[in-house]
Structure 1
């Protein structure tokens, strides 16, 4: 019986392919086994046997299942702790308390000229500043303008002191309305001063002469 050459060739090719597959599979298995050598499956059984060794009791580590309620409690506790820390970090600093300066002067100290009245009603300490409470009103018939860069403050030694004003009007209307504000001086400037004098005039006419002397600072 004559064998067809095509059938024989096909059979040989199939045999070679089958043999190559077996060799490749065996080789891959060997490489994988070598790579996983020394790696063991962790003991995750819910219950482990308790044994004794050298007279002592030894318990193997067991898989611990956390309860949902415990997890929720821990999360809430951590969130509350973080919220308190954040609130403490952003909380604004407490303002320094103001202290009234104790002295024997009789307040208010008043100056009046051409219907305009300026009054210092008290003095107090606020942080690193000495603050004078000032009020102004105009009983005249015309508005009066002020430029507080012309505010002249001197101590009993004749030294000129720089000050900051807050709330005092730049224009005082003739309606007898009382306006209040403050004049603040740094305590560093008042280190050797016991009393100050304040002079103020209108701008630009400079017709008013408002002066308050012997205002205590300590």
Structure 2
């Protein structure tokens, strides 16, 4: 993963008021932790930072140029406004080239399993140790034409060179099962309801199905 270059500035104003002023100027407040140094509070350009995060994914690596000096920084936490979808704040961890870091990497499924099967994802992310400058954006798993009964475990994953799995090798990643019919699903639901002591109410149609047109004749 190549580091995106972003120019940043140190900031000395803090608090909600200062943060709002920063965001109104299309900038983003952030902080860089790590390597035994005091936290470095910075301001980043809003649009450029947003694009860098979209390109780099959950573990985006940025090369921050802060007041003339350069610092590699790994994205650790991103706060986004849930309504406006704008960046609110970013936490970074300072890293160096060659340094190994622990990250959560998403699993992407590729292809389609055999017909009549159901693909169940056991876990959507895995924990890896990788060099800070070579963190994979995702790990790809092929499920093409896999038959029911197939299971893919963490130990089956093909990891990028330099990455090490920090997860129980027996962890289930993908399980391919037979696809149930609507009738089988309904039967399972009825069985579960019966075990739980739940009685289904009869519909109005079912209640009225036993009545006949001649029932009203006695009223004449």
TM-score by length of 1: 0.21
* TM-score between the two structures when normalised by the length of structure 2: 0.21
Instruction: Decide which structure has the larger Cα Rg and report it.
Output: 1
**Between Structure 1 and Structure 2, which shows a larger proportion of strand residues?**
2
